[in-house]
Structure 1
Amino acid sequence: MNNIFPRIILLLSVFFCIFLVAYSWMSDHRSPETSSPQNALTSEQADPTGNQNIEDNTEYPVEIKPAYIVTGTIRSGETFDHAMDRNKLDRSVKTQVIKGLSQVVDFKKCRPGDSFHISLDNAGGLIRCTYKKSPLEIYTLEANKDGKNEFNAFRDSVLLECRLIKLSGIIDGSLFTAFSKIGANSKLAVAFADIFASRLDFNTETRSGDQFDVIVEEYFKDDCFVGYGRIVAARYKSHYKNFNAYYYRPRDQTEGKYYDSAGQEVGTSFLRSPLPVYRLTSKFSNRRLHPILKVYRPHHGVDLAAPIGTSVMATAAGKVSFVGWQKGFGRIVILKHPGGYKTYYGHLSRFAKGLKKGISVRQKQIIGYVGSSGMSTGPHLDYRIKENGVFKNPFNMKFKPKSKLAGMELDDYIEKQEYWRQFLENDSTHKTLQVETRKITEYPDGWLG
């Protein structure tokens, strides 16, 4: 008897150990559907960039109901592949996601703040991946519902509310400050200035007390502002002249333009300035004391001070006749234009990528960046224009409109212009004119952001 009890105790101990091992194994291999919500729903709880993760509102068929949902955000200096690695996604899933979404997403342009949401089945297989670049730009890779191991990639449609509003303001300082005071962002101010860039230089020709009005599309998603659309009409009342612009698309053209009250295109063949914002530090002169050489000599251009790296635009369409280093100008671009014109852009810090002699450039195309190369006392652009071999003061030159409406097109335009003019001239400073809902799969026409 004395020998039996130790054997019984030993057997019971063995059975108890086997039971503990089995229980532990079962706990570690429970179905993901029964694991804790904290572990199953997400691998990243917080989005440090403020870009909200995508909610999964998809109604899945029972057979593909997700068991795991992994959410994440692209961090600074990280690729989408690295972000999935950080979230410990299986290599086969990563390959499926990148291969599938690459049909609609350029992952070379991933930015910090982009977010993703990946749904997996019980076996860890991919069901669906959503990649969000902005509230308006969401892409989805989704398994076919027929059960085959195939996936479809597409850009999601987004429901937006478009509000057509009128904004008005008064200049007290700069145009950008005035737009900020009425609650508008700098993108709208830049677009407004760009419309009149051929007729009005907002750096030198504005005064405090000047007034402006703009009718523009504002887009909202779930009652949150997401960006500006097209400027429909604009007016600037300066101390010496009124400028008006109305968007109109002629029937035989795919894109619209801005026209003035007489039906002439607001844009001319040359911009007033190659820089959107600058400070005039030296005027056109036949006799100027050179700041470095300390001798009097002609200065057949204008010096426009701006921070190093500021984009420099071609003031007119043309061809590159010279790009490189030239004596006191340092890095310089020279463009040749129709009608016997040449423009010069000196003291650049660098040239635009791909710019070389002989290529054509568009008006407003970036050709270089402000610098202080060559004989220069500080960062600025030396801008010059030559007409038939003679240098002219860029700020005194007048250019004709690119086009003018006529006939039935002009009649149709005048009718539309009268409709918008009544709102522009209304005394209200902030008024909603129209509201409509739009379902989009790409950025709206005229999108400013």
Structure 2
Amino acid sequence: MVIRLPTQKADRKMNKKWISASAIIFALAGGFYLLGNNLAVSSEVEEEIVLEEEEFEENLLYGINIDELDVIEGIVGKNQTLSTILAPFNVPYQIIDEIARKSKEVFDVRRIAFNKKFIVMTPKDSSQAQFFIYEPNPAEYVVFNLEEVQIYKEEKPVEIQRVEFGGLITKSLYQDMMELGASHELINKFADLYGWNVDFQRIPKGDKFKVIYREKVIDGVTVGFDGIETAFYEHKGQAYHAIPFEQNGEVSFFDQEGNSFKKEFLRDPVEFTRISSRYSLNRFHPVQKRYKPHLGTDYAAPTGTEIRTIGDGTVVEARFTSANGNYVKIKHNGTYTTQYLHMSKIASGIKPGERVKQGQVIGYVGSTGLATGPHLCFRFWKNGKQVDWLQEEIPPSDPILTENLLAFEKVKIEKMQQISAIPYTKNRGKLLADK
């Protein structure tokens, strides 16, 4: 290889070019260096700002920053009003009056009730209340901004909590579940679920039950029921698993064989209660004092207990007669008709021609007509003839479809494993052997 060295003249030209290029390179390098340092500094500043924001989080209560406020908690006393509650906190009567007038659309202050919780907030340098917060129920609160004369209602955040337990029948489903901490709503939903498989009016001691359900919790306090996830009942040695599965766009319960728990009718027109008299062709009438057919089923319940239609249908009668008292009659289809007697009152909007849905409240238990005490007399017609409701075999909804069997099996295995892991308990904290 031959390398040609430049001449002296050429060297000078190249030196000038090299100097110019070097200057550009150094200038660019310096620029990038300064830019990099600026970016680094900027990042450090941002990081410091973020840290400062984290260090100075607001101390909120009911959505209000209370750093500069004193917070006083109280309970509404007997006959207390907004005016008497706020009187010790130097709130002018004119503001109380304006708050009372403005709040009617949000919350009528005349509904402030005994034994309910309230909060008063005052500035640390003043004894005059700035905020008044009232809790009408565990799930809501009303904020009265006394300084700006504003009123608004908010809901507390709700936590959904999963609960499970199992037990043995020693007295009744209702009593044994109550001793384990179950709510009335949970017991009613459980009884509705199994009503067509088990006669809870006549269950033997030794039957077993387990349930996994959800409840709503606010501030660590349970405020409501949020549905059953899965359940189990063993009746006279026969096991019934309730497996939730979505089919045709609806989540329903199926047994371990894939048969639906859902039927055209609910098992009872009132939530879990006591049957006081059954269908009979020769029963002594307590009012007329003679033996005559009793072609219905009587459910004992306190006055005002909700009565629900057992299925979808159309109201054909809703009126009062001297024998039936206030009653409603519903035609469900060409085969079945039901009637609900002795109501204290018929529910609003229930009149002939109205469509009703399964479980809809149509009236309230009473003792109108020929009745000695509060109860519901429920009557059931099949093909135009009154029959014994408790002996009827109502066909279930569709079972698991063939194309859904594999998916159902997967859900079934998961739910049955969850249920099997739950121990039986006699009462809170006391375990029984899982027989």
TM-score, with structure 1 as normaliser? 0.67
| Counterpart residue identity of residue 183, structure 1 | G
Q: Which residue, out of 176, 179, 185, partners 1:178?
A: 176
Deviations 1:205-248 (A, max 9, x none): 42211111001235556666555543211111112643332344
Higher relative contact order (CA 8 A, sep 6+): 1
Q: Tell me: CA distance 1:224–1:274, structure 2 relative to 1, closer, same or farther (3 Å).
A: closer
Query: CA contact under 8 A between 1:312 and 1:368: conserved in structure 2?
Result: yes
* Cα separation, partners in 2 of 1:299 and 1:251, compared to 1, 3 Å: closer
1:360 partnered with 2:362: no
Does the 8 Å contact 2:241/2:416 carry over to 1?
Answer: no
Provide the rounded CA distance (Å) in 2 between the counterparts of 1:310 and 1:149.
45
What corresponds to 2:134 in structure 1?
Answer: 131
Q: Which amino acid aligns with 1:114?
A: K
The residue correspondences of 1:155-194 to structure 2 (distance < 5 A) are 155=154, 157-158=156-157, 160=159, 162-194=160-192
The match for 1:90 among 89, 92, 101 is: 92
What is the CA-CA distance between 1:81 and the residue it aligns to? 6.8
Equivalent position amino acid for 2:178 in 1: S
Q: Distance in 1 between matches of 2:350 and 2:87?
A: 39
Matches within 5 A, 1:82-231: 84=86, 89-94=91-96, 111-120=113-122, 127-140=130-143, 153=152, 155=154, 157-158=156-157, 160=159, 162-202=160-200, 204-218=201-215, 228-231=225-228
Q: How far did residue 296 of structure 1 move?
A: 4.3
The two structures, once aligned, show a CA RMSD in angstroms of 3.9
1:189 and 1:237 map into 2 onto residues whose CA distance is 16
Tell me the SS of whatever aligns to 2:203: coil
With normalisation by structure 2, the TM-score equals 0.69
1:169: how far off? 0.7
Contact 1:201–1:273 at 8 Å: present in 2 too? no
Structure 1 counterpart of 2:96, one-letter code: K
Partners in 2 of 1:348 and 1:159 — Cα distance? 36
Preserved contact between residue 140 and residue 156 of structure 1 (Cα < 8 Å): no
CA contact (8 A) 2:168 2:424 kept: no
The separation in 2 between residues aligned to 1:265 and 1:107, in whole angstroms, is 49
Displacement of 1:278 = 3.8
The SS at the match of 1:422 is helix
Hey, what's the Cα distance between the residues in 1 that align with 2:369 and 2:326?
Answer: 7
Matches within 5 A, 1:1-20: none
Residues 72 and 87, structure 1, Cα contact 8 Å, conserved in 2: no
CA distance in 2, matches of 1:381, 1:393: 15
Q: Is the Cα–Cα contact under 8 Å of residues 329 and 375 in structure 1 kept in the other structure?
A: yes
Read off the aligned partner of 1:117 and give its amino acid letter. I
Which residue pairs with 1:428 in the alignment? 423
Is this contact kept in 2: 1:179–1:186, CA < 8 A?
no
Please point out which of 365, 380, 388 is paired with 1:393: 388
The structural deviation recorded for 1:167 is 0.4
Q: Which moved more, 1:101-110 or 1:177-186?
A: 101-110
Contact 1:320–1:356 (8 Å) recurs in 2: yes
Structure 2's unaligned 5+ residue stretches are 1-59, 426-435
Contact 1:274/1:312 (8 A) holds in 2: yes
Cα distance in 2 for residues equivalent to 1:409 and 1:92: 68
